[in-house]
């Protein structure tokens, strides 16, 4: 069974369109052998903020690792995900080169 990894990052912003940056990282992580949980595709845009965060945090509980996109530092949601990942003792990654 492939290890499961969650992508954490800022959901909006001017740098790269959100869907594109999450999808591009999903492809790279899949090439590294992971089953990827992409929060951008996990919840519908119509879902309310708190319900969406609960769904994302529940999905994180099924993962063995979390990968932080460079813009995650500017995301309050990523801070919640980091705290939850640390409580779950997940592997934390911020660089692809850190993944063997």
Nearest Cα to 82, choosing from 97, 67, 64?
Answer: 67
- 44/86 Cα distance (integer angstroms): 26
Q: Is the pTM of this model over 0.85?
A: yes
For residues 11-27, average pLDDT: 80
Give the domain ranges of the chain: 14-98
pLDDT surpassing 80 at residue 37: yes
Q: What is the pLDDT of residues 43-99, one digit of tens each?
A: 887 888 899 999 999 999 999 999 999 999 988 999 999 999 999 999 999 999 999
Cβ atoms of residues 12 and 71 within 8 Å: no
pLDDT surpassing 70 at residue 38: yes
Per-residue pLDDT, 15: 53
């Amino acid at each position: 069974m492939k290890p499961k990894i969650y992508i954490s990052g800022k959901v909006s912003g001017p740098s790269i369109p959100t869907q594109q940056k999450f999808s591009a990282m999903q492809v790279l992580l899949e090439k590294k052998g992971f089953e990827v949980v992409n929060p951008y595709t996990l919840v519908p845009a119509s879902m309310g903020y708190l319900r969406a965060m609960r769904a994302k945090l529940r999905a994180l509980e099924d993962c063995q690792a979390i990968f932080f996109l460079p813009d995650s530092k500017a995301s309050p949601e990523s801070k919640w995900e980091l705290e939850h990942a640390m409580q779950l003792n997940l592997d934390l990654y911020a660089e692809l080169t850190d993944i063997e």
